[in-house]
Amino acid sequence: MKVRSSTKIAIGFVIIAGGTIYGYQFAMRQAIMSQNFTPLVPGRVNIVGINTGAGYKILVANQMAQLVQASDSFHGVETDSGGATEGAIKKRVPIKEMLEVLQGNEKALGPFIMKVNDRDENDSWPPTRVVWPAERLLKAINGDKAEEAKLVHDLNINLDGTPLAVLDRDSMENGIIIDYPVAVTVDSGGKKRKLIGRVQEPFKADLLTTIERKLTDQRVNNDMIAGYYAEESQAVLDGKSRRQDIRKAIMARLAPTNAQELATAPEKVLKSAEVVVNENQIDSASYRNYDTTNGKMNDLTVEMTDEGRKRLWKFSEDRVGTQLMLIVNGIPIAAPRISHELAQGEITITQMGDETLVKEAVDALNQKKKG
């Protein structure tokens, strides 16, 4: 059968037109993938990507997104209901402090270091905090007699480990809090900086810790405490119990190797997080509320700027199947999974449970636009 010339022209046009559209999309995609975007500093509203290969993963528990350590030593896994086990929750990364550190906030760095290393304050910390900064401790240890006398009093033991003649009960209960600097390398907006966080940890002499253990779950009076103290002190003086080198024990906390070890986990977490877009790459936002069998749910729709669309597209290109975190004012409110390349200028995050948090995100983004 002969094909009429007009038909040939029509078929040719379709083929050429289809090739032109495909070629345009391909060229645009290639241009975006080859583009290098300036790294972003976190803002009030952020869409954050996590490099799960760094040993961290995103979980959702009680309708809240969490970033948890996913190494073999932690057995937290997603539950059937989308939650996380108790073990995983205990090992979660503090998102608010993480973003503040990425903004260059040194005050947030100390608490961040402590939490990531499981060194944050807990019920075992003393009721009264007698804080000794590293700089003051070094003076006491290196021969400043006035500072040494104060340190001996606060610890209720000589720096060579010999016990004092009298027990000060406050010193036994409180000990001291050692406050020392830890340097962490932070990539903030594409600029690597060395930030200094102040880490704190309680310290007591082993002698006093031993006495405290003996007093546990007992009704004690001052005579009983004095008796235990005399007994344990004499054992040290007679060489029956080990005499602790207090100078050496404190200097171990202040050693550069200790600071380097504490910096390892925070640096790993910070490197794993990438701010894909913040409120400056978002034009506007809206949401709709609807009823489901699981209660009221919300869909959040975000309109990206052209730059925001390109950033999301490039980030999602080889990360289909992974998750993002939507974080508003330091609170992770959603963890949408990337189901395909995010090439469009509009994205919708579905089935979000907390309408208050969703509305807060919408208000924050739309207020930015008005401003």
Residue pLDDT tens, the chain, 371 long = 554 554 445 555 555 555 554 554 556 566 666 678 899 999 999 999 988 766 777 777 666 678 887 654 333 334 333 334 444 445 788 999 999 999 999 999 999 999 999 999 999 899 899 999 999 999 999 999 999 999 999 999 999 999 999 999 999 999 999 999 999 999 988 889 999 999 999 999 999 999 888 887 667 788 888 888 999 999 999 999 999 999 999 999 999 999 999 999 999 999 999 999 999 999 999 999 999 988 899 999 999 999 999 999 898 888 888 889 999 999 998 888 888 888 888 889 888 888 998 998 899 888 865 55
d(CA 13, CA 270): 52
List residues bridging with 75 in a β-sheet: none
The residue among 161, 174, 242 whose CA lies nearest residue 212 is 174
The residue among 141, 136, 170, 178 whose CA lies nearest residue 153 is 170
- Determine, yes or no, domain membership for 8: no
CB atoms within 10 A of CB 88: 22
**Quick one: pLDDT at residue 221?**
81
State whether residue 109 is helix, strand or coil.
Answer: helix
State whether residue 347 is helix, strand or coil.
Answer: strand
Half-sphere exposure of 292 (CA within 13 A, CB side): 12
The residue among 151, 156, 174, 42 whose CA lies nearest residue 101 is 42
Give 89's DSSP letter: H
Give one DSSP letter per residue of 242-301, joined into a string.
PPP-HHHHHHHHH-HHHHHHHHHHHHHHHHHEEEEEEGGGEEEEEEEEEEETTEEEEEEE
- Is residue 291 domain-shared with residue 309, that is, in the same domain? yes
Task: Label the pairing between strands 191-203 and 176-188.
Answer: antiparallel
- Determine, yes or no, domain membership for 213: yes
Helix, strand, coil content of the chain in percent (nearest 5)? 45, 25, 30
d(CA 297, CA 317): 29
- Is residue 255 domain-shared with residue 279, that is, in the same domain? no
- Is residue 264 domain-shared with residue 284, that is, in the same domain? no
The residue among 330, 268, 272 whose CA lies nearest residue 117 is 268
Given 220, 245, 270, the domain boundary residue is 270
Given 213, 245, 270, the domain boundary residue is 270
d(CA 365, CA 349): 15
The boundaries of the domain holding residue 325 are: 45-67+272-370
List residues bridging with 186 in a β-sheet: 193
- Determine, yes or no, domain membership for 89: no
- Considering its fold, how many domains does the chain have in total? 2
- Is residue 137 domain-shared with residue 188, that is, in the same domain? yes
Beta carbons within 8 Å of 306's beta carbon, 6+ residues apart: 345
- Is residue 55 domain-shared with residue 128, that is, in the same domain? no
- Determine, yes or no, domain membership for 294: yes
- Is residue 252 domain-shared with residue 191, that is, in the same domain? yes
